[in-house]
Amino acid sequence: MTAGFPLREVLASEYDSRGYLIIPDYLDPAALEIARAEATALCRGQRGAIEGARPAGEHEDDADVLRHYLCIHFPHKISARLLEAARRPAAVAALTAVIGPNIKMMQSMLFIKSEGKPGQAWHQDEAHIPTRDRSLAGIWIALDNATVENGCLWVIPGSHRPGVLYPVRDQHDDRFDCTQEAYSFPYRDEDAIPVELPAGAAVLFHGYLLHRSLPNTGRHGMRRALVNHYMSAESVLPWFPPGEGQPMGLLDHRDIVLIAGEDPYAYKGTADLMRPHLRADRDGGCAR
């Protein structure tokens, strides 16, 4: 087991009970600085095309360049260093403890929540990335200290245990970005707890866990986070996000990266389907 990690049985028990667990020191100081620098390079257009991105001014300050963006989807497609961050030993140790020996990744997101930027309403990741065996898990990596004031993650412990995917709807709350919200669940906002993390730490959470984040109040600086999604390699992924030119009959999304173990479906090969892009805003444009 990776140094500093508790026994696998302890990890699995905590994850099963609460639906999340903290991974301290996920990124060491050197890896943290690399990830931060990579975020800036992506926003400056130095790693390749990102749909919806604007050219950075030659003399524009790095912080101002970052403030143009809220979320970049699939940065691992053009950043070898962010892909490496998704495959760190700490990720492998935690994921194989709570899911199984064979793990694949299908998505990454880089959140850059600067002062005044919105959060995300209550949602369950499995509602948007369906697996057949409820094995979806996310690892949310803090690139800055994540606090209540700058918009850390909030979770409802144990909300994954019923195994229910609650309905979703459009929402128009200015505290949140344009993503849909889950509703009609038997929990209150008061049941939630904040997941405050020091830079370099991470939280691993279940795909059925209800979670949200609130806006950055601007009192504690920028809140950057790298989020990667994983699942059991034994399960196929019937995922066809809209607008990506995939056939509606697709039963197994194969734009994946094997993180641990073996891929039972390796005979199918892999595909290069997804492209880095910005999250859309409420008016259908790209959130900046």
| pLDDT tens profile 6-23 | 567 878 899 999 999 999
Half-sphere exposure in the Cβ direction for 156 (13 Å, CA):
22
12 lies in some domain: no
Confidence band, pLDDT 50/70/90 cuts, at residue 248: very low
Query: pLDDT tens across 227-238, in order?
Result: 999 999 999 998
Q: Which of 197, 71, 206, 51 is nearest to 133 (CA)?
A: 206
Q: Which residue has the higher pLDDT, 4 or 209?
A: 209
With respect to residue 2, please indicate whether it lies within any of the assigned structural domains. Answer: no
Average pLDDT over residues 272-277: 93
Q: Is the pLDDT of residue 209 over 80?
A: yes
The answer as to whether 151 is a domain residue is yes
> Residue 249's pLDDT is what?
47
Res 1: pLDDT = 43
Does residue 138 fall inside a structural domain?
A: yes
State yes or no: pLDDT of 60 exceeds 70.
yes
Positive or negative, the CA dihedral 176, 286, 209, 184 is positive
Mean pLDDT, all residues of the chain: 91
Between 138 and 7, the higher pLDDT residue: 138
Domain enclosing residue 153, as ranges:
19-51+63-278
pLDDT digits (tens, 9 = 90+) for 151-181: 999 999 999 999 999 999 999 999 999 889 9
The answer as to whether 284 is a domain residue is no
Contact 56, 274 (CB under 8 A): no
Q: Band of the pLDDT at 214, cuts 50, 70, 90?
A: very high
Has residue 124 got a pLDDT over 60?
A: yes
Q: What angle (nearest 5°) sits at the alpha carbon of residue 20, between those of residues 98 and 134?
A: 55
Minimum mean pLDDT range among 50-59, 118-127, 258-267:
50-59
Query: Phi, psi (5° rounding) for residue 231?
Result: -160, 170
Model pLDDT, residue 230: 98
Work out how many domains the chain is built from and give that number.
1
Angle between helices 8-18 and 89-98 (to 10 degrees): 70
The residue ranking higher by pLDDT, 257 or 240, is 257
Is there a domain that residue 228 lies in? Answer: yes
Please report which residue ranges of 74-192 form alpha helices under DSSP H: 80-86, 89-98
Model's pTM, two decimal places? 0.93
Overall average pLDDT of the 182-211 stretch: 98
| Alpha carbon distance 36, 41 (integer Å) | 9
Read off the CATH number of the domain in which 171 is found: 2.60.120.620
In a domain, 58, yes or no: no
pLDDT of the residue at 243? 52
> How much is the pLDDT for 6?
58
Is pLDDT above 90 for 205? yes
Give the pLDDT of residue 2. 47
Q: Which candidate, 245, 209, 218, 222, places its Cα nearest to that of 145? A: 222
Confidence (pLDDT) at 11: 83
pLDDT grade, residue 56 (50/70/90)?
Answer: confident
Work out the angle at residue 243's Cα, subtended by the Cα atoms of residues 241 and 246, and round it to the nearest 5 degrees: 65
Cα gap 106→127, rounded to integer Å? 15
Q: How confident is the model at residue 3 (pLDDT cuts 50, 70, 90)?
A: very low
Residue 109 belongs to a domain: yes
104: Cβ contacts below 8 Å, ≥ 6 apart = 230, 231, 232, 233, 256, 257, 258, 259, 263
58 has a pLDDT exceeding 90 = no
Using DSSP, state whether 104 is helix, strand or coil: strand
Q: Tokens representing 252?
A: 């197994």
Is 197's pLDDT higher than 50? yes
